[in-house]
Amino acid sequence: MQNTGVTSDKDTLPTGRISRANGLAGDVYEAIFQQLMSLKIAPGSRITVDNLVKDFNVSHTPIREALGRLEGEGLVVKTHLIGYRAAPQITRRRFDELYELRLLLEPAAAAKATAVLDETGLAVLQEAAGVMARREGRDERLRYSNFARQDAIFHDKIMQFAHNDLIRETLNHQHTHFHIFRLMYHSRVTEEALDEHEAILSAFAAGDPDAAEKAMRVHIENSRDRLLPAFE
């Protein structure tokens, strides 16, 4: 087995896959993000910068930039004099609190957003929902990590249209979607969520605030129920 930069035997980072076409730090970020979301890097695993430098054949700078970005998103923890680790998995109590918060805020926000959506806004949400690109690509881990980000964008855009910056900032600060998607790597998590996104979009397209509120509530409750087995 190659030296991977992560202490767990099952945790490996891709080697020779970093493209120089885009920003190098961005490519390194995407590679590490993908493996954090798909649990190839286990929660709590140590991430060694020097080993990542060897694996990716890049300098320390893009590695540290990528890890700094992941730290800002709550996915990586840096400890003084120790280094980097993948963030620990959220606890059951934190999970319950996050979903209680979401159920209090997001269904009402969906109803509120419905009242102000025009064709342009609806097109923005349709693109953000990830429905149109749901079956693109054969790499399941890449699709899963991409959807984790897409799901966060979709919900954030709804909050943007609901015009409550405080609620939007509060939810963004929790990095909810990244943490909950790390609980379980399974294609069912994405496929069923995309069906629910379609239901929310249908309510938006119909201009029906009550239906939008209900569809959002069902989506969040189903998301909670899909991920609960991770704590068993």
Please list, in sequence order, all residues whose beta carbon lies within 8 angstroms of the beta carbon of residue 48, skipping any fewer than 6 positions away.
5, 6, 7, 83, 84
Under DSSP, the state recorded for 3 is -
For residue range 108-160, what is the model confidence (pLDDT) as tens digits?
999 999 999 999 999 999 999 987 655 555 667 777 888 888 899 999 999 99
Residue 204 has pLDDT above 50, yes or no: yes
Cα–Cα distance list, 5 to 94, 119, 141, 167 (Å): 29, 47, 19, 38
For 92-231, CATH gives 1.20.120.530
Q: Which residue type, as a one-letter code, is found at position 153?
A: I
Q: Distance between CA atoms of 10 and 31, rounded to whole angstroms?
A: 16
Check if the beta carbon of residue 114 is closer than 8 Å to that of residue 216. Answer: no
Rounded-to-integer distance, Cα 160 and Cα 189, Å: 25
User: CATH number for the 24-86 domain, one of 3.40.50.300, 3.90.920.10, 1.10.10.10, 3.30.1490.190?
Assistant: 1.10.10.10
- Taking the domains of the chain in order of start, what are their residue ranges? 24-86, 92-231
Chain centroid, CA 82 distance in Å: 27
Provide the pLDDT for residue 22.
53
Query: At a CB cut-off of 8 Å and minimum separation 6, what does 62 contact?
Result: 24, 25, 27, 28, 56
Q: Is the pTM of this model over 0.85?
A: no
Q: In what order do the strands lie in the sheet with 46-47?
A: 46-47, 83-86, 76-79
